[in-house]
Amino acid sequence: MAPRYSSVPIRRCAEVGRQKLNELYPDFTVIPTSILDDDLMRGFGQALFKALGIIRVYTKKVGHEADYDDPIILPISGTVEDTALELHKDFLKKLQYAKIWGKGKHEGQRVKNNFVLTDGDIIEFHI
């Protein structure tokens, strides 16, 4: 069974004291946030995705740039096959192969349907 995360965004964490909050709520992850601090907000977003157990995968058409406006949301350990099915069942039936771009991957690496994706990957389908 996947671990269950509990988190609560806390405003004005410095006033109360992060250690005190950890003592009061030992089963929760304390995530300091501030709309004035982009790094803290990114950290909150990452913690939220981790707690929900999801990743974002972006698509691109052959010969075009990636579409970052509308990501495909998959559970952690989602595959190329899962992504194709999210788009349309015919994509999966007709899929010959896919190419992947992302952190720690070769640019345009050709992958099989069971390839496990990670957050932020870009996928190009060839049907």
Please state, as a whole number, how many other Cβ atoms lie within 10 Å of the Cβ of residue 29.
14
Distance set, CA 61 to CA 4, 14, 67, 123 (Å): 36, 46, 9, 9
Q: Which residues does residue 9 pair with via DSSP β-bridges, in sequence order?
A: 31
Residues with Cβ within 8 Å of 70's Cβ and at least 6 positions away in sequence, in order, are none
The rounded radius of gyration (Å) of the Cα atoms in the chain is: 19
Model confidence pTM above 0.75: no
Q: What is the pLDDT along the chain (127 residues), one digit of tens a residue?
A: 444 555 555 555 555 577 787 788 888 877 877 788 899 888 888 888 888 999 999 999 999 999 999 999 999 999 999 999 999 888 888 999 999 999 988 999 999 999 999 999 999 999 8
Domains of the chain and any CATH numbers: 7-52 (no CATH), 54-126 (3.10.20.30)
DSSP state, residue 15 = H
Give the per-residue pLDDT at 120: 94
Distance set, CA 20 to CA 5, 24, 103, 106 (Å): 20, 6, 37, 45
In angstroms, rounded to a whole number, what is the distance separating the alpha carbons of residues 102 and 119?
A: 9
